[in-house]
């Protein structure tokens, strides 16, 4: 069991994907919030999970489980992993300035990391899933 708070900087016109690697049956509570004023709604988020490359052959091609999406400045809840793999968020900055998003996760997961980052559609970081 662990608790961590991560500050995620998202550039103007930026997008970031941040995931936790979890075993099947792992769980965490989460809370995230965009810091400061959010006249444009904060961020667009897509909360989802997909198997790792090592487990992908056990699922249909392109398998992904959606947990929710929307345009908000904050969200909290609980995730119970129904399958082993990467579970987390894609964030798209809706503000006309860089933003900081504070994410707190508490629970049973192996690790977390930034999986993807792009600015104005240009990929600046991408990790293998």
| Each residue's pLDDT tens digit, 15-63 | 999 999 999 999 999 999 999 999 999 999 999 999 988 888 999 998 9
Backbone angles phi, psi at 128, to 5 degrees: -70, 140
Cross-strand partners of 107: 2, 28
Give the rounded percent of residues in the chain with a pLDDT score beyond 90: 91
120 three-class SS: coil
- For the record, the structure tokens of 120 come out as 């104005």
Asked whether residue 2 carries a pLDDT value surpassing 80, the answer given is yes
Q: Are 40 and 94 in contact (CB under 8 A)?
A: yes
Asked whether residue 129 carries a pLDDT value surpassing 80, the answer given is no
Cross-strand partners of 5: 104
> What is the C-alpha separation between 69 and 90, in angstroms, rounded?
9
> What is the C-alpha separation between 13 and 20, in angstroms, rounded?
24
User: What mean pLDDT comes out for the span 99-113?
Assistant: 96
Neighbours of 97 (CB within 10 A): 10
Q: Are 28 and 67 in contact (CB under 8 A)?
A: no
Q: How confident is the model at residue 87 (pLDDT cuts 50, 70, 90)?
A: very high
> What is the C-alpha separation between 89 and 91, in angstroms, rounded?
6
């Amino acid at each position: 069991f662990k608790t961590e708070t991560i500050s995620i900087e998202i550039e103007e016109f930026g997008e970031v994907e941040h995931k936790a690697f979890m075993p099947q049956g792992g769980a965490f509570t989460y809370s995230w919030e965009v810091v400061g004023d959010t006249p444009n709604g904060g961020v667009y988020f897509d909360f989802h999970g997909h198997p790792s490359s090592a487990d992908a052959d056990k699922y249909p091609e392109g398998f992904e489980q959606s947990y929710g999406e929307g345009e908000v400045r904050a969200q909290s809840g609980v995730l119970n992993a129904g399958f082993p793999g990467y579970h987390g968020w894609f964030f798209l900055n809706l503000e006309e300035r860089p933003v900081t998003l504070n994410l707190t996760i508490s629970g049973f997961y192996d690790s977390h990391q930034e999986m993807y980052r792009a600015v104005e559609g240009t990929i600046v970081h991408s990790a293998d899933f």
